[in-house]
Amino acid sequence: MKRAVYAGTFDPVTLGHLDIIERSSKIFDELIVAVAENKEKFPLFSLNERIEMIEKSVKSRKVKVEGFSDLLVDFAERKNAKIIIKGLRAMSDFEYEFQQSSINRNLNKEIESFYVMTNEKFFYLSSSIVKEIASLKGNVSMFVPSIAEKKLKEKFR
């Protein structure tokens, strides 16, 4: 079985993230969406809220959603996943992800990175931009699934 991990903070999950999840789930037998606890980023949503938003937004039974707080390569190894999915929007993403992949390869030579370019309609999209728009009471419905839109409205009442 080919199992892959797609990790991120997903604060909140965007349509760009869902694009990567959907397309990756067609390539692998199982895809684990690994939601990083990452308290250094001070997420707007709790780990459980972020997991819930993804679970309610993904249709495929091949996709599992789990939180993690350790090294990504350790999480992948625990889950018997040999592939880490890296979503790319722009060259700046590639530089950062290339560095992370190199570090991960040094930590665990059995795990490979698999790069997926996001759909061009999501090149500009990030969770940070979505949160900024929502905080200013802007419409985010074209950027996030409905569950995330609802939760953003609740946070920024």
Candidate list 2, 41, 59, 121, residue with the active-site label: 41
127 part of the active site = yes
Catalytic residue among 57, 86, 127, 151: 127
Residue of 17, 50, 86, 151 marked active site: 17
Q: What is the 3-state secondary structure (H, E, C) of the chain?
A: CCEEEEEECCCCCCHHHHHHHHHHHCCCCEEEEEEECCHHHCCCCCHHHHHHHHHHHCCCCCEEEEEECCCHHHHHHHCCCCEEEEEECCHHHHHHHHHHHHHHHHHCCCCEEEEEECCHHHCCCCHHHHHHHHHCCCCCCCCCCHHHHHHHHHHCC
Q: Is 17 a catalytic residue?
A: yes
Let me know if 3 is a catalytic residue: no
The catalytically annotated residue of 50, 86, 89, 131 is 89
Please indicate whether residue 25 is annotated as part of the active site.
Answer: no
Residues taking part in catalysis: 17, 41, 89, 127
